[in-house]
Chains A and B, each alone.
Chain A
Amino acid sequence: MVQEQTPANSEKATTSHHFDMEILIGYILLVGVLLSVALLAIGLIWRWERSGNLRFQHTIVGMNFSEFVLTSLRQMASNELRPRVMLNMGIAVLMLTPFVRVLASVFYFAFAERNWKYTLFTGFVLGVLTYSLFLR
C-alpha cells in the first residue's frame, strides 16, 4: 500500500530534516562545554585536596595545540595523571568543541543535505582552523 504524500507529511519530513542539524550542533556544543568544565573543576579540586593551594604556576611555553594535546596524553599514559594534566585536557576539550562542531557541519552539508556550496564554506573554515591548531 502506497502512503499518500499529504502536505502535512512532507512538512513533517522537512522539519525533521532541519531538526537533525540543529540538534546535532546543539548537543556537540553542550557536551563539549560540560566535559571541559568538569575536567577543569576536577583538576582544581584535586589540586586543592593535595596541597591546600589553588594557585598553579605553569605556563605552556610556545606549544601549538597538537603538541599541547600530545604532551598531555603522554603524561596521562605514563601514569603522571596530575591535576595539571586535567586542566590541560579541560582546555583542550574546550578548544576542540567549536572545531568538532565545524567538522560535523562539513559532513552534514556534504552527505545529508548534499549542499556543495556550504560543504565548501564549512570546509574552508575547517581548513583554516586546522591550520591554526598546528600553528608554529
Chain B
Amino acid sequence: MSFHLLFLVSVVAGFVGAMSGMGGGVILIPVLTFFGMDIKNAIAVSIVSVIATSSGSASTYVRDRITNLKVGMFLEMFTIVGALAGAAITLVSGRRFLFILFGVVLLFSWAALFRQRNEDQHSTVYQDHFSQWLELQGSYYDQSIRETVTYCGTRAYLGGPFMFGAGMIAGLLGIGAGALKVLIHDLVMRLPPKVSTTTSNLIIGVTALAGTSVYLSAGMMDPGLAAPVILGVVLGATLGTHLLVRLTNQMVRRIFLGILLILGAEMIIRGVVGV
C-alpha cells in the first residue's frame, strides 16, 4: 500500500469519523484491510491513531467544561482492564473471527445510530446510593438553549461492568468504541447526550493507550505505517470538526448509516468466506 493512498484513506477516515462522531477506526480498518493490509496490523495502527483523535477533541470538550471528569475517571478503571484483555485476545485469535466480530460491531453501531436519540434531559432521575457516593452529578452550560443543565448519573454499579465490555471491544478491534460507550452513558447511567459524548471521548484516550501498549510489546507497531495514519486522521478530524462546523443534517446521517451498513456486511462476508 503506497504512502499517498495510506495518508489519503486516513484523512477521509478522520474526516468522516469526526463529522459523524464515530471516530476514525470504524472506517479506517475495513478500508486498510480492503487494500490488502493484514487485519491485525490495521488494528494496531488504528488504535494508536485513536489516542490522537480522542485526546485532540477531549482537550476542547474538557476546557468547555461539558465533560464529567468524575464519571470518566470512575469508568476508565473498567475500560482499561477490558482493553488489555481485548488486545491480548486479538493477538491469539484467528483473522476470520476478527473480521466477523468487526462486522457485527459495525452493524450494532448502525443500529444504535439508526434508533432516534431521545432528547429529553433525564432531569428527574433517582440516584442510587452508590452513584451518590461516587459523586456522579454535575452541571454544564448548554449554549444552544442558553441554560445551565444539572443532572445526576445513576446505576454506576451497572455502568462499570458494561464499560469493561466496551473497553474489551475497543482493545480487540482497535477502535474507540465510542458508540458503545455513549450508549452505556445514555441508557444505563442516564447522562445528558452532550455529557455522554464528551465524557466518552476522555475515556477513549486512556483505553486506546492500554490497547496500544499491548500491540507495541507484541511487535505489531510499525511507526512507518502509524505516522502517516496518525497525521492523516488528525488532519481529517480537524477539517471535519472545524471547517464544516458539524453537518448534523439528515443527509450526512443517511450517508454515514449507509457506509456503516456496507462496511459491516462486507467485513462479515470476508470473515465467513475467508478473506
Contacts and interface: CB of A to CB of B under 8 A. Distances in A.
A135 B223 contact: no
Interface of B: 2-3, 48, 51-52, 55-56, 58-60, 62-63, 65, 67, 69-70, 73-74, 76-77, 80-81, 84, 133-135, 205-206, 208-210, 212-214, 216-228, 230-231, 234
A51 B228 CA distance: 17
Interface in A8-26: 18, 21-23, 25-26
Contacts of B234: 33, 37
21 contacts: A27-B63, A29-B62, A32-B55, A41-B231, A43-B227, A54-B3, A55-B224, A56-B227, A58-B222, A59-B219, A60-B216, A62-B217, A87-B227, A90-B223, A90-B230, A91-B226, A91-B230, A94-B230, A97-B205, A98-B55, A132-B214
A63 B216 contact: yes
Contacts of B52: 33, 36-37, 94
A135 B214 contact: yes
B213 A25 contact: no
A27 B59 contact: yes
A91 B206 CA distance: 15
Q: Is the interface of A mostly helix, strand, loop or mixed?
A: helix
A58 B112 CA distance: 39
B223 A29 contact: no
Nearest to B238: A37
Interface in A86-104: 87-88, 90-91, 94-95, 97-99, 101-102
B76 A125 contact: yes
A84 to B, nearest CB: 7
A26 B63 contact: yes
6 tightest Cβ-Cβ pairs between the two chains A and B: A56-B224, A26-B63, A29-B59, A62-B219, A30-B59, A54-B3
Contacts of B230: 36-37, 40, 90-91, 94
Nearest to B201: A29
Contacts of B212: 95
Contacts of B69: 21-22, 25, 105
Contacts of B56: 29-30, 33
Nearest to A130: B213
B60 A26 contact: yes
A68 B60 contact: no
Nearest to A36: B52
Contact of B210 (A37, A84, A91, A128): A128
Contacts of B134: 117
Contacts of A62: 217-219
A43 B184 CA distance: 40
Contacts of B77: 121, 124-125, 128
Nearest to A60: B221
A66 B160 CA distance: 30
A78 interface: no
B102 to A, nearest CB: 23
Given A40-B230, A61-B219, A95-B212, A22 B206 contact: no
B219 A95 contact: no
B209 A59 contact: no
A25 B68 CA distance: 12
B59 A26 contact: yes
Contacts of B65: 18, 22
A102 to B, nearest CB: 6
Contact of A88 (B55, B209, B223, B225): B223
B73 A97 contact: no
Contacts of B219: 59-63
Contacts of B135: 117-118
Contacts of B3: 54-55
A29 B55 contact: yes
